[in-house]
């Protein structure tokens, strides 16, 4: 049984200037222990899809299950079994790192002592031990990003949603994060759905890639299958492949939302 499965998932925003169809019927699934890359130009609907899958946003169409829980009928189950690292994070700059990690553990209903131990452990895993007692606002950009990721791992979720987790990380930290994601998969069987604009990252880290464009799935498969099919050969660069799929460069100009 797939750990993530969506069918016709859609979200239309009603705005002052008419409806915006951010996501228009996405079907995808991920098996247990799979690392799924979610690619697509700016405004394609990646974040919107993730916000639906994490119960933050109600879909306007379609259905989905996450870790065996139905999104619509069992949002509490989805929340307990999945972790989410938002594109722009979510810590308070005035609060010390340790306190944020502790609070996060308690929000996931860990007993006090366990939450404290988990905070230490996460800080160690993500290289934050030295900054545990600093306010979050005093971290560097990359440290902040690692803290965001630690927050999402607090409760050892079965399914992990990472929205551009490596944006702002130096090459060393990026490699460390890839290592961490692989370790989560190998040791805990965690299923990971991550978005990225770095094609080398998708190539190196992801078992399978889903490219979305204008709110629908434009292509999906392993990186080599995509290269073969859209780039013309196995040696094609992922960059050319991506261009061939979406008809434009990755992370290029901000595409205008599709208004109807």
Ligand X SMILES: Nc1ncnc2c1ncn2[C@@H]1O[C@H](COP(=O)(O)OP(=O)(O)OP(=O)(O)O)[C@@H](O)[C@H]1O
Q: Which residues bind another protein (CB under 8 A)?
A: 51, 54-58, 75-76, 79-80, 82-84, 86, 88-95, 99, 103-104, 106-109, 151
> For residues 185 and 31, is the Cβ–Cβ distance under 8 A?
no
> For residues 149 and 183, is the Cβ–Cβ distance under 8 A?
no
Would you give the end-to-end CA distance of the chain in angstroms?
A: 37
C-alpha dist (Å) from residue 138 to 51, 143, 156:
28, 9, 27
Q: Give CA–CA dist 50/58, Å, rounded.
A: 11
Residue from 3, 4, 10, 20 binding ligand X (CB under 6 A): 20
Residue 86 Cβ vs ligand X, minimum distance, rounded to whole Å? 11
Q: With binding defined as CB under 5 A, does residue 5 bind Mg ion? A: no
Q: Output 102 or 245, the one with its CB closest to ligand X.
A: 245
Q: Give CA–CA dist 250/59, Å, rounded.
A: 26
Q: Output 132 or 218, the one with its CB closest to Mg ion.
A: 218
- Beta carbons within 8 Å of 44's beta carbon, 6+ residues apart: 212, 213, 214, 215, 255
- Please choose which of Mg ion, another protein, ligand X, none residue 94 contacts, taking the beta carbon within 5 to 8 angstroms, the exact cut-off set by kind: another protein
Q: Give CA–CA dist 208/211, Å, rounded.
A: 10
What letter does residue 105 receive in the DSSP assignment? H
Q: Output 70 or 186, the one with its CB closest to another protein.
A: 70
Among 13-21, 73-81, 147-155, 230-238, the segment contacting ligand X (CB under 6 A): 13-21
Residue 107 Cβ vs another protein, minimum distance, rounded to whole Å? 4
Q: Give CA–CA dist 117/102, Å, rounded.
A: 9
Other beta carbons within 10 angstroms of residue 239's beta carbon come to 13
46 to 105, contacts with ligand X by CB under 6 A? 46-48, 87
Q: Output 100 or 164, the one with its CB closest to ligand X.
A: 164
Residue from 9, 34, 37, 43 binding ligand X (CB under 6 A): 43
Q: Output 33 or 168, the one with its CB closest to ligand X.
A: 168
Q: With binding defined as CB under 5 A, does residue 104 bind Mg ion? A: no
Q: With binding defined as CB under 6 A, does residue 157 bind ligand X? A: no
Residue with tokens 């890839």: 178
Residue 87 Cβ vs ligand X, minimum distance, rounded to whole Å? 6
Strand partners of residue 38: 195, 210
Total residues in contact with ligand X, by rule CB under 6 A: 14
Question: Would you tell me which residues interact with ligand X (CB under 6 A)?
Answer: 13, 15, 20, 22, 40, 42-48, 87, 257
């Amino acid at each position: 049984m797939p750990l993530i499965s969506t069918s016709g998932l859609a979200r239309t925003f009603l705005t002052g200037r008419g409806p915006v169809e951010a996501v228009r019927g996405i079907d995808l699934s991920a098996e247990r222990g799979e690392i799924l890359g979610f690619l697509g130009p700016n405004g394609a609907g990646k974040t919107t899809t993730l916000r639906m899958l994490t119960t933050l946003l109600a879909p306007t169409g379609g259905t989905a299950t996450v870790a065996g829980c139905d999104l619509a009928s069992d949002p509490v189950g989805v929340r307990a079994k999945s972790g989410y690292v938002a594109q722009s994070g979510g810590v308070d700059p005035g609060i010390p790192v340790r306190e944020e990690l502790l609070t996060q553990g308690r929000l996931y209903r860990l007993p006090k002592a366990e939450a404290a131990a988990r905070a230490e452990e996460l800080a160690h895993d993500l290289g934050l031990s030295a900054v545990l007692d600093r306010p979050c606002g005093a971290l560097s950009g990359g440290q902040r990003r690692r803290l965001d990721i630690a927050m999402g791992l607090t409760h050892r979720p079965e399914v992990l949603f990472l929205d551009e987790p490596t944006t702002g990380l130096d090459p060393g930290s990026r490699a460390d994060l890839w290592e961490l994601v692989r370790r989560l998969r190998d040791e805990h069987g965690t299923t990971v759905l991550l978005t990225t604009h770095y094609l080398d990252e998708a190539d190196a880290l992801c078992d399978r890639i889903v490219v979305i464009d204008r709110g629908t799935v434009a292509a999906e498969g392993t990186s080599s299958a995509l290269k073969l099919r859209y780039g013309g050969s196995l040696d094609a660069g992922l960059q050319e492949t991506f261009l061939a799929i979406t008809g434009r460069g990755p992370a290029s100009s901000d595409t205008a939302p599709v208004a109807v």
